[in-house]
Structure 1
Amino acid sequence: MEACCDLQVDVNGEETFLVDKKIISLYSGRLRKLFGKSAGAVDNLKVIFHDFPGGSESFELVSRFCYSSRQMEITPYNISLLHAAAHFMEMTSSVSGTDTNLMELTQKLLDEIRYWMWPELLVALKQCQELLPESNVSTVIEKCLDSLIRRLVLASETSPSPSISSSNSSACRLSCDTKSTESLRNGLFSRSTWWFEDLLFVSPSLLEMMIRSMISHKLDHVIISKFLFYYQKSKLPVASSSLEKGKIIEAVIDALCMLERSSVSCKSLFGILRVALGLNMSRGSRNKLESMIGSQMDQATLDNLLVPSPYGTNYLYDVNLVLRFIKAFLCFRVSKQLKKVGGLLDLYIAEVAPDPCLKLSKFIALVSALPDSARDSYDEIYRAMDMYLEVHSGLSEEEKMRLCSALNYDKLSPESHKHLSQNTKFPSKTAIQALRTKQCKLKSLLQASKDPKLPNGESPCALSKGKVKDEEGDQIVIYAGELDPMADNERLRAHLQGMQWRVMELEKVCWKMQTQMTKILKAKTPSHSSARSLPKLCS
């Protein structure tokens, strides 16, 4: 066909093509509409496209298709460009009485996507990604992703080899010359992760769509999470700007949120957190990350929690971040995890207590963050409070009382009770409270020894003797086990006499405690020595 070049087409400012107006407009509904509006014949026509999908390369392919009377071969390597260009040029009409047009031809090839090879799928998907977001290639993307992920699922269920044949998908096969195959042969990737390297080209904007497709095809969530962490570690070092890094992190976090919580590694989440702290991330993505970490607080370590405070603050560690973790944990917590997290938080509190810039309100918030049932003992909290008061010696009596109100005296050991009653850094009322708690415990023991029926329903006749020490170091006799009163009446009588004698001893101990409390009220004066280092108890 002899063609005359009577039309100039400027494609996105990249290149100007000289084409036959009649031939091009014969296939393009968009140009037919444009030329139909012009009055009469016009010489030296010029059309300028500013947003032609795929640019000059794509327009050249469309021109070849028009000039070759639809004989140009459409392959997986050019289908994305042709499909997008056909949409843009409105090449949806049949020509010369045929039933086919460019849109139908590309759709026909897409219908045979199960016969495509692995590298062909990757190239088509890459081209679609480059055409986003302006072009209408969603159909190609969906079909490529669907085919890719079906093969990944099939590969994980059958053979470790990336060359697959399935009776359901006929010629479902993968290339033997891809990077994934080389990685597999070199032992760099396991059977389930050989494809990680091949899919690193996926952009953050396409990542979510791909992960949703993986989930819908029931790919193992653990494998998906491993890919996301691998994706993050591989993409960040080559990102050109902080903005690009932020988009990568946000895309990974959004994708991880779609997975089962148990499939996501807590250690890896903290790795993302440390990277994210230096980036301008959205508040929504940061909240999602903190929520995921909080749900796995029982797997965290002290080192994980020791995150430096944000820029511009003067305290050492980011206490607010840990408080948000605890809040998230309490939304997901299981009772068996509570005490483990309680022990971890006690270690953290002891670590931040010597910080001279840590505000009293933040310290109290840490101590009170978990319910009382999270701790069997408050000894570690008492030691942390002792360190805090050592460093913050300028607190008022009222502030000290606020601090001590978070202390559960009933869960202090005898040693801590004794230390607290003599600790001049604590307010007098606190020491008195400790002594009263101690006295109440002794009275309870005294009452139990007088009662012929013990709490478990046993009688004194069913007890044998043992010894423990009270806070003052004195021995107190307790009884456990069973005796046979018929076999040894004399021994039983001796035990009862011993119990009566110990009751008298306990009454003397209570009297001594009351005397000590009176002395504290009258003569206790706090020490303000500042030359002393942290107390040995807290070191």
Structure 2
Amino acid sequence: MKLSFDLEVDVNGEEIFFVNKEKLCSFSGKLNKLLSKAPVTSVTKPLKVIFNDLPGGAEAFELLIRFCYNNGRIQITPNNTCLLYFIAQSMEVTEEEVHSSDSLIKQTEKAVESISYWSLPEVLIALKQCQNYFQLSESSGILDKVIDSLVARITTASDTSPSACSPDSSFLRISFDTKSNISSKNSHRRAWWFDDLLILNIEMIDRVIRRMISLKLEHNKISKFLFYYLKCKLSSASDEKRMVTETVIDLLYSLDKNSVSCKGLFDILRISSSQNLSGSCRERLENMIGSQIDQATLDSLLISSPSRTESLYDVNILLRFLRHFLACGGRTSLDRLKKVASLLDLYMAEVAPDVYLKHSKFVALITALPDTARDSHDSLYRAIDMYLVVHNRLTEAEKMKICCSINYAKLSLQSCKHLAQNPKFPPRTAVQALLSQQSKLKGLLHDSNNFKSFDSEQKQSKDGDQTLLYGKKLDPDPLMENEKLKAHLKGMQWRVIELEKACRKMQNQMAKMVKSKTSSPTCSRPLPRLCS
């Protein structure tokens, strides 16, 4: 007796189906070609066909069986459209083999055309099916249509109201904070669609995000989503952590730099230290950090060195950050440049006591920024002082290489006085510091004398003080103006006297120090007369 089920089909090792060969062959061109070459077997034993990597797997093949047994008719829904399309393509269910007016492929294509009427969960299910069979969905054009539908809903719907797009969308969410998804209070931190997209793999996320960028979705939201997606994916035991991290970095790099969190980039840098990222990807990450290094904190910059034998902290990476900052226009923004200089001074004070920090690296740090980055060199001087305390075996030449970056004219009187008495610094630096202070004093005295003589008359008071009066350019209230000028002049004169005293004191101390170091060639010349 002839068997009603004369074909055994093993689908991807998932499930075995016993079907009627004639029914399936009348619709499937692939089965028809395959079985027409099969040898004749016993009527009591069915033929066996094994499929590996059949798109849609056992679920899709079961839909195909229903289609064939129902003479080319099946209910097509948003949840099975993509599966039916994939199985129809793979099994060659084309128009020639179909007895109805439309092939299964054409029916599914028509169903996709109505995707604008699908709910968000249905679109996400279709996208999940597409990502499982990425190459087939991409070549067919279905993937682009599903992605466009998803992105259109995200760009048009309100972030504070997920129900505006679909009231059922929450069933797909992986909730990490049940209060934050629909709360307008927290909507600035995480948009409603963030959790929905966690079901997608990184390859699909790449396609979706690039489509968002092309449609000019707000970069700030895209950036927040990418940080959120990376955090969620890295917390799971995934074997694709490196690929996820590299893809997220590449996507962030394509965004407006001002939309990317500096703190978030440092978090990526920290977690990726053990992932062996590609050189180009790491360079992009460092470039993004460097371009906004003025927003960093000291704690973020204190990155452990990959090799503790060289130094405790990774100085090289900070130097690369600074180069990227200057290359990205940081030199042209004086305010940003000064912020970076202040941060760098704090960093140098932190790393200066490191006994493993080579003087060449320390020199690279103190010379990394232009002189215009600092109004004062007091912090720079203190960092150098700490470095010389720990590294007390440096030669005079090595010390001079470190100290030559100090702009002595930008040292305060207190720092200059400290330097003149500091035995750790080469004597030549003390002389240069005192010379710069002498120039300051002379300039101040010159300004004071000009102030006294400018378009004015001197008049001796009873107590012997001098009062500066304008002879010809009096304001409507001359008495009040005279009092202001008198107070200003007295303050300036007092300042000049104090500076002269301090200068004479430093000169005496320097003379004693130089006398004790007569063997040094740098101190063989007599000290200049600083104050007369």
- How far apart are residue 290 of structure 1 and its match? 1.6
- 2:222 aligned residue (204, 224, 232): 224
Whether 2:315 is the aligned partner of 1:322: answer no
Task: Quote the residue 1:30 is aligned against.
Answer: 30
Equivalent pairs counted in the alignment come to: 491
Look up the match of 1:393: 392
Q: How much has 1:436 moved relative to structure 2?
A: 2.4
- Indicate the SS of the match to 1:156: coil
Cα distance in 1 for partners of 2:458, 2:62 equals: 101
CA distance in 2: counterparts of 1:511 and 1:96, whole angstroms: 108
Alignment partners' CA distance in 2, 1:507 and 1:69: 109
Q: Give the CA deviation at 1:347.
A: 0.8
Deviation readout 1:181-204 (Å, 9 max, x if unpaired): 999995544455122222111111
- Which residue of structure 2 lines up, in the alignment, with residue 234 of structure 1? 232
Task: Check the 8 A contact 1:163/1:175 in 2, yes or no.
Answer: no
* 3-state DSSP of counterpart to 1:277: coil
Whether 1:344 and 2:343 are equivalent positions in the alignment is yes
2:470 is the alignment partner of 1:484: yes
Match of 2:171 in 1: 178
Shift of 1:211: 0.8
Structure 1 stretch 265-274 or stretch 186-195: which is displaced more?
186-195
Tell me if structure 2 keeps the 8 A contact 1:181–1:194. Answer: no
How far did 1:33 drift? 4.3
Q: Report what 2:161 is aligned to.
A: 160
Which of residues 57, 66, 69 is equivalent to 1:67? 69
Name the CA shift for 1:116/1:510 in 2 (closer, same or farther; >3 Å).
Answer: closer
Q: Is the 8 A contact 2:420 2:433 kept in 1?
A: yes
Give 3-state SS (helix, strand or coil) of 1:238's partner: coil
Please give the alpha-carbon distance, in whole angstroms, between the structure 2 residues aligned to 1:120 and 1:110.
12
Match for 1:402: what amino acid? K
Verify the 8 A CA contact 1:353 1:385 in the aligned structure 2: yes
1:95-174 matches, within 5 Å, as 95=97, 98-133=100-135, 136=138, 139-156=141-158, 160-164=161-165, 173-174=166-167
CA shift in 2, pair 1:362/1:503, >3 Å:
closer
Where does residue 205 of structure 2 map in the other structure? 207
The alpha-carbon distance between structure 1 residues 30 and 521, as it changes in their structure 2 partners (threshold 3 A), is same
Q: 2:54 aligns with which of 52, 67, 70?
A: 52
Once the two structures are superposed, residues 99-139 of structure 1 have per-residue CA deviations (whole angstroms, 9 ceiling, x without a partner) of 31121111111000011112111211112222235665663
Pairing of 1:10-25 with structure 2 (within 5 A): 10-25=10-25
Taking structure 1 as the reference length, the TM-score comes to: 0.79
* Counterpart residue identity of residue 251, structure 2: A
Aligned mates of 1:369, 1:522 — CA distance in 2:
36
Residue deviations 1:142-183 (CA, integer Å, cap 9, x gap): 2222112212222228x725144xxxxxxxx55266356999
Distance 1:336 1:325, change over 3 A: same
Deviation, 1:520, is 4.3
Query: Please, what is the CA RMSD of the aligned residues?
Result: 4.0
Contact 1:250 1:281 in 2 (8 A): yes
Residues 178-327 of structure 1 aligned to structure 2 (within 5 Å): 178=171, 186=179, 188-191=181-184, 193-241=191-239, 244-310=240-306, 312-327=308-323
Does structure 2 conserve the Cα–Cα contact (< 8 Å) formed by 1:301 and 1:344? yes
CA spacing shift, 1:429–1:18, aligned 2, 3 Å: same
Tell which deviates more after alignment, 8-17 or 387-396. Answer: 8-17
Partners of 1:445 and 1:504 lie apart in 2 by: 11
Structure 1 CA distance for aligned equivalents of residues 95 and 252 of structure 2: 44
Q: Displacement of 1:367 after TM fit?
A: 0.8
Letter in 2 for 1:162: S
TM-score by length of 2: 0.80
Q: Which residue of 1 aligns with 2:376?
A: 377
What SS is found at the alignment partner of 2:163? coil
Change (3 A) 1:358 1:507: closer
Give me the whole-angstrom Cα distance separating, in 1, the residues matched to 2:26 and 2:156: 45
How far apart, in 2, do the equivalents of 1:28 and 1:397 lie?
88
Structure 1's 66 and 233: CA in aligned 2 closer, same or farther, altered over 3 A?
Answer: same
Distance change in 2, residues 1:430/1:504 (3 Å): closer
Deviation at 1:267, TM superposition (A): 1.9
Equivalent residue of 2:216, what SS? coil
CA distance in 2, matches of 1:298, 1:261: 13
SS in 1 for 2:235: helix
Would the aligned equivalents of 2:7 and 2:21 in 1 still touch at CA under 8 Å?
Answer: yes
Identity among equivalent positions (%) equals 50
Unaligned runs of 5+ in 1: 165-172, 466-478, 527-539
What is the one-letter code of the residue matched to 2:436? T
Which one is further off, 182-191 or 111-120? 182-191
**Equivalents in 1 of 2:175, 2:149: separation in Å?**
22
Looking at structure 2, the residues matched to 343 and 366 of structure 1 have their Cα atoms a distance apart, in angstroms, of: 13
Secondary structure of the residue that 2:376 maps to in structure 1? coil
Q: Which residue of 1 aligns with 2:522?
A: none
The C-alpha deviation readout for 1:358-393, integer Å capped at 9, x for no partner, is 111111111111111110011101100000000000
SS in structure 1 of the partner of residue 87 of structure 2 = helix
- Change beyond 3 A, Cα 1:371–1:197: same
Alpha carbons of structure 1 residues 296 and 80: separation in structure 2 relative to 1, 3 Å:
same
Partners of 1:154 and 1:178 in 2: CA distance = 21
In 1: Cα distance, 2:298 partner to 2:31 partner:
67
**Shift in CA distance, 503/163, structure 1 to aligned 2, threshold 3 Å:** closer
Task: Check the 8 A contact 1:315/1:355 in 2, yes or no.
Answer: yes
Q: Which deviates the most, 288-297 or 7-16?
A: 7-16
Note closer, same or farther for the CA distance 1:348–1:138 as it changes in structure 2 (3 Å cut).
farther
Change (3 A) 1:60 1:482: farther
Cα distance per residue 1:284-331 (max 9 Å; x no partner): 222222222212212111111112222554522221121121111112
Distance 2:398 2:78 in 1: 73
